[in-house]
Structure formats: structure tokens, C-alpha cells
Amino acid sequence: MLKIQTKWHKSISEISKEDWERLAGINQIPFFQWDWLKALENSNSVINKNGWQPIFLSAWRANSIIGLAPLYLKSHSYGEFIFDNIFAQIAFDLGLNYYPKIVGMSPLSPVQGFKFFCSEEEDEEQLTKLLINKIDTFAINNNILSANFLYIDSSWKQSAKKANCLEWINEKSLLSLQGYDDFNSYLQRFNANQRRNIKRERNAIKKEEIEISTISGNAITSIEMDLMYYFYKKHCAKWGVWGSKYLTPEFFKELSKECNKKNLVLFSAKRKTSSKTLAMSLCVKNKDMLWGRYWGSDEEIDCLHFELCYYSPIEWAIQNKIKSFDPGAGGSQKRRRGFELHPNASMHRWYNQDLEKILKKWLPKANDLMLEHIKTTNSEVPFRN
């Protein structure tokens, strides 16, 4: 059998879309599709200047690509939504430079699904070990302290573990929509008090004479995406220095292209007496999952956020036979809308023996505490007994 060779790439454009799709699958979740990642680069949202240097690693037999690791070299921890402050603090206490670090994820999107893409003809475990060995060598030669694979696909966990990666468990929110015929059947799962609360919140929007409209896929134009960027920018500005304004207006223009907009759903709000759009939210979809991403509003209207970011997307998802809804990072208010916590694993490698020794001892305890936290929190979700 021909020997495997590896290559490093500074841009996704160095890997053909055809090769990417052959390994990742044309039905890969949108955030790991070639067009989505290319849009992040094309729009200057994810570039070295912003602390996201693409360093994709590929594996080849002769002239045939057989494996891919979508990686980034990072000079900060923003845009990951997994907060590794404790790792950075321990590194600082040991006199180590925590940055730059290697990160594997879909940039700026806390979306589960990261893995090394592997040809069906190859042994995934062996190829994972080979690619991680190459990552190790690159990191050590360049004085990089860690490699971090975030929001991993659960099917890839064992391959990563067998390659001696350490697991760190965090939390994510998820709403299962299976078994619901309509929004009313979704409501029936809650106790009587929370059913009243949700109905009251939706009625508050009706009393304001606000109508919600939905547009998806090829019906979306650059006009709607320009407006969505306006609301995204406005919402980020609301939080001042804490706002997560990572995306450029050009990224939203990229999303209006046919290759990307097929995966989008927009929800917008207008008063019946006006043609002006008051607020918008953007979700991303495939046939099984809906992901909540961005939103913004021109007015502070009670319950409008709940309607545009939770209730209308839930109703749309049920109508379109979507199985699950991932609303994005953060937000204890999600519990009261039926979003339960689930474990979210990331896998890590550290290239300093003292740091690795400390974290190898700490991680099992931290993981147990997180699993207990998830269990306790889910017991408080206001479902019917």
C-alpha cells in the first residue's frame, strides 16, 4: 500500500470543493461545508488578522486525498463559546504562553459535529492517530502549547481517545421535537403554569399587532441578508465591549449566495400598520436539525425575543419535520422553553508535561461535576410529571 503523505494549508481554497465534499459528505451539517467555511474566509471574518489562521491538515495517498482535519491557529479564545480560562490561568501560573493554540471547530459557531474527515476506504482510528501525530510535531516545533478539538461529533470520540486525547465535558442546550404534530402538542409537554406563561408571551406579541413572517432557502435575497446584518450589528452593539460582533457585512452577502442560502431560515417581525421590519432572527437548517444563530431588534418589545428566537422557529421546525433545535450558546431562559442540557465533549492535547499532569488529574472531577449539574438542571425544566 502507498505511503500516506500530509500537507498543511493556509486557506480552504487550497482544497477543492469536490475533495472536501467527497470526504465530509455533501450532507455534512452546514457549518462544516466547504461553502460556509469559504464564506468566512472570503468575507474576512475568519483570517489571521482576526486571530483565526486556517491551518487545514490533509492526508494523501499518491494524488488522492484521504483525510482532512479542519484546524485554526488562534491567538485568543473569543468566538469559541467554550471558556478555557482555567487552562489559560494554569498555563500563566506555570510561566507558559497559552497562545497561540490549535483549535478544531467551525469558527464562531458552537455547533457539535467536529471530526477529522476520513475516506470510507481508510481506517478512521489509524488515520486519526497519524494526523494527530502530525499535529503534535507541528505544535512542538512551533512552541504551541495545546491542540483543542471542540464540539466533537460523538461518533469520533473513541478515535480521538485512542489517539490519547483527553476529554473535557461542557454543556449544550437542545430541544427534541420528535413526537410533536404542531405547536399545541409541544405545549402539552409543559406543566399547566408554564403552558400559561408561553401562551401569555405569544399573546403579548399579538396585542402589539405584530406579525411574524418566515422566508427560507432560495426565496432569500441579498436585501434580506443586508437587513439581517443590520440587526446582528445592532444587537452586538447593545452589549458594548462584550458584544460578539465577529462577522462582517460581506459574510451576510456570502450567505445570500445560492450555495449557502439553501440552509437558511429568516424570521422577521412587522407591525400590521407598517411595512418596516422591527426585528429579525436567522437560523440554519438541514433535514434533521435547526440551529438558532443571530437576532436583533429596533425596539425593546416584551417577549419579541422569545417569539423570534424560540416559538416561531419551534413552530416552523415542527411543521417541517425537523427532529431537534439547537438554540445556540448560553441562556438559562432556554430551560423554561423546554431546552434541556446535554453533555458536549471536546478533546484536548497539551505539550507541556506539568500542565498535562495537572489537567489530567482535574478533568475527571470537573467532568463528573458537569454531568451532575446537567442532571440537576434538567430536573427543573417545567415539564409535566
pLDDT of residue 242: 65
pLDDT tens digits, residue range 356-366?
999 999 999 99
User: Which residues make Cβ contacts (< 8 Å) with residue 133, sequence separation at least 6?
Assistant: none
Strand partners, 72: 54, 103
Q: Which of 86, 193, 164, 93 is nearest to 348 (CA)?
A: 164
| 244 band by pLDDT with thresholds 50, 70 and 90 | confident
Asked if residue 284 lies in contact with residue 290, where contact means CB atoms within 8 angstroms, the answer is yes
Within the chain, which residue ranges are assigned CATH 3.40.630.30?
4-172+343-378, 178-322
Write out the H or E segment, with its range, that includes residue 171.
Answer: strand 166-176
Backbone angles phi, psi at 276, to 5 degrees: -75, 135
Q: How many CB atoms lie within 10 A of CB 246?
A: 18
- What CATH architecture applies to the domain 4-172+343-378? 3-Layer(aba) Sandwich (3.40)
Mean pLDDT, all residues of the chain: 95
Check residues 116 and 243 and name the one with the higher pLDDT: 116
| 1 band by pLDDT with thresholds 50, 70 and 90 | low
User: Which residues make Cβ contacts (< 8 Å) with residue 375, sequence separation at least 6?
Assistant: none
pLDDT tens digits, residue range 308-358?
999 999 999 999 999 999 999 877 889 999 999 999 999 999 999 999 999
Alpha carbon distance 317, 113 (integer Å): 20
DSSP sequence for 268-310:
EEEETT--SEEEEEEEEE-SSEEEEEEEEESS--TTHHHIIII
Q: Which of 65, 188, 195 is nearest to 121 (CA)?
A: 65
For residue 100, say if its preceding peptide bond is cis, omega within 30 degrees of 0: yes
pLDDT of residue 225: 97
Tell me the chain's radius of gyration from C-alpha atoms.
22
CATH of the domain spanning 178-322: 3.40.630.30
pTM of the model: 0.95
Asked if residue 348 lies in contact with residue 149, where contact means CB atoms within 8 angstroms, the answer is yes
Percent of the chain with pLDDT over 70: 99
pLDDT tens digits, residue range 145-162?
999 999 999 999 999 999
Check residues 27 and 36 and name the one with the higher pLDDT: 36
pLDDT tens digits, residue range 258-283?
999 999 999 999 999 999 999 999 99
Q: How many CB atoms lie within 10 A of CB 340?
A: 17
pLDDT tens digits, residue range 165-199?
999 999 999 999 999 999 999 999 999 999 999 99
